[in-house]
Amino acid sequence: MHSKFIIISLLLCGSLHSFGQSSEDGIIIDRIAAKVDNYIILKSEVEKAYLDFLSRGEYRSSNAKCEILQQLVVNKMMVAQAEIDSVIIDDTEVSSNLDRRMSLMLQQFGGEEEVQKAYGKSIGQIRAEVFDNIKEQMVIQRMQSELTSEVKVTPAEVRKFFREIPRDSLPYFSTEVSVAQIVSIPEPGVAQKSKVRNQMLDIRDRIVAGESFADLAKKFSQDPGSAARGGELPFYSRGQLAPEFEATALSLQPGELSMPVETQFGFHLIELQEKRGNTFKSRHILISPTPDATDFQRSTDLLDSLRVLVQADSLTFQEAAKENSDDQLTSSAGGFFLDESGAGRVPVDQLDPNIFFTLDTMKIGTITEPIRFQQQDGTYAYRILYYKERVAPHQANLDEDYQKIAAATLNKKKNEIIAEWFETARNNVYIEIDAEFDYCNLSE
């Protein structure tokens, strides 16, 4: 089978047994599509990835499902080989990665309550369920990085790659803009934090005096996932909760109540309920301080000062964004919104409507004054926008789209390296493909 990305050969070793639950009439709900050593790929995983592929409008390949299975097999090969090569990802790394992802999810959904409504699970349950998947993804990324970290492309290779694309297959790009932002999210200052801390001490005194922890959690806690249950949390392993929370909980004796503990989410009162090996169960009351007018003014003052420095050529916008922007999605790119290839231009129809309409009032090369906007979690922040460039609709070419074409060239070269690695590494692990996927001709 010739894939657009990787050409691999698999040794078919017999048939696979059904896996998963069966309904009363004997219909298999799920089954194993492939096995790589002790790792399995379920048919449902292949189907879900295929539906995602279709949802992106990528209909060109007639062998899409086979290519997806092929990539899943390569991923499991990476994990299996990582065990052989002793490539280890520490749980603290996974927890830190998961914290960032959860933070972004909360921003995108508009807060914990919306996430829990969407998934029907608490934040803690979601974290526990995805922890192992995140760890596997990080192992795969580490292996890919070790294999391809030295891979580079030259301008000659980029030009050769571009020339080999049939003229009638060159993509057509709609209007694109290069726009960057610096975001300042107002943080509660000392006054607001002191106010909440004193409130927590009052609640603690009431609990010590005999009032019900559960009743007070239901009344005061701002954690929607646990408040209705009287603050009850499930068992957690080390590394799954905020470090400050975990350290405090594990320092307590069962039944002991902590003093107020500050984490990125606010202030907690924690009561340890039980320890089981490396896991623990607790309940908590969470109250988050909110910024006041002084805190909002601090944000606008910061952005104003950065704007003045950039306009005076004392600082570049990119430097200012990397050092000061609170937006995790854009700060590492110097504030610029990136497309899927990592290029610093995005189609205008993919911009937030508020940014789109703001650009209509701007001239190329200008920076706005601080603009107040509502984040996806409903809270307010401020940002300044830098309008660097606007590119009219056009067919892909090396002059205007070199960065995108170079990214595609590099991706192709990396995939070829991984394909070569697979041909060698596959002899070190056991691979078995279900007969249902014989039509993919993965053995050829």
The candidate with the shortest Cα–Cα distance to 262, out of 280, 245, 283, is 245
Cα three-residue angle 13-16-20, rounded to 5 degrees: 155
Range in 98-112, 121-135, 300-314, 339-353 the model is least confident about:
98-112
Across residues 79-83, what is the average pLDDT? 86
pLDDT over 60 at 20, yes or no: no
Residue 237: count of CB within 10 angstroms of its CB: 16
pLDDT over 80 at 17, yes or no: no
First to last CA, the chain: 6
**What mean pLDDT comes out for the span 64-91?**
85
Q: Where are the alpha helices (DSSP H) in 25-179?
A: 43-55, 64-84, 91-109, 112-119, 123-148, 155-163
pLDDT at residue 4, as a whole number: 30
Task: Specify the pTM.
Answer: 0.63
pLDDT at 444 over 60: no
Round the average pLDDT of the chain to a whole number and report it. Answer: 85
What pLDDT score does 24 carry?
43
Residue 126 to residue 111: CA distance in whole angstroms = 14
State residue 425's pLDDT score: 79
DSSP string, 174-236: --EEEEEEEEE-----HHHHHHHHHHHHHHHHHHHTT--HHHHHHHH---TTTGGGTTB---E
Tokens encoding 341: 């290839």
The pLDDT of residue 205 is 96
Distance of alpha carbon 304 from alpha carbon 300, whole angstroms: 6
Query: pLDDT category, 23, cuts 50, 70, 90?
Result: very low
Sign of the alpha-carbon torsion through 403, 409, 411, 417: negative
Most confident of the ranges 84-88, 209-213, 326-330, 350-354: 209-213
Q: Which amino acid is at 379?
A: T
Residue 431's pLDDT band, with cuts at 50, 70 and 90, is: confident
Above 50 in pLDDT, residue 2? Answer: no
Indicate whether 19 pLDDT > 50.
no
**Does residue 278 have a pLDDT over 60?**
yes
The answer to whether residue 318 scores a pLDDT higher than 90 is yes
What integer pLDDT is reported at residue 56 of this predicted model?
65
Strand 236-237 and strand 279-287: pairing? antiparallel
Least confident of 58-67, 265-274, 288-297: 58-67
Which 3-state string (H, E, C) describes 273-335? EEEECCEEEEEEEEECCCCCHHHHHHHHHHHHHHHHHHHCCCCCHHHHHHHHCCCCCCHHHCC
The domains found in the chain, sorted by start residue, are: 32-152+398-440 (1.10.4030.10), 172-187+292-395 (3.10.50.40), 190-287 (3.10.50.40)
**Higher per-residue pLDDT: 156 or 404:** 156
**Is residue 335 very low, low, confident or very high in pLDDT (cuts 50, 70, 90)?**
very high
Question: Is a pLDDT exceeding 80 seen at residue 247?
Answer: yes
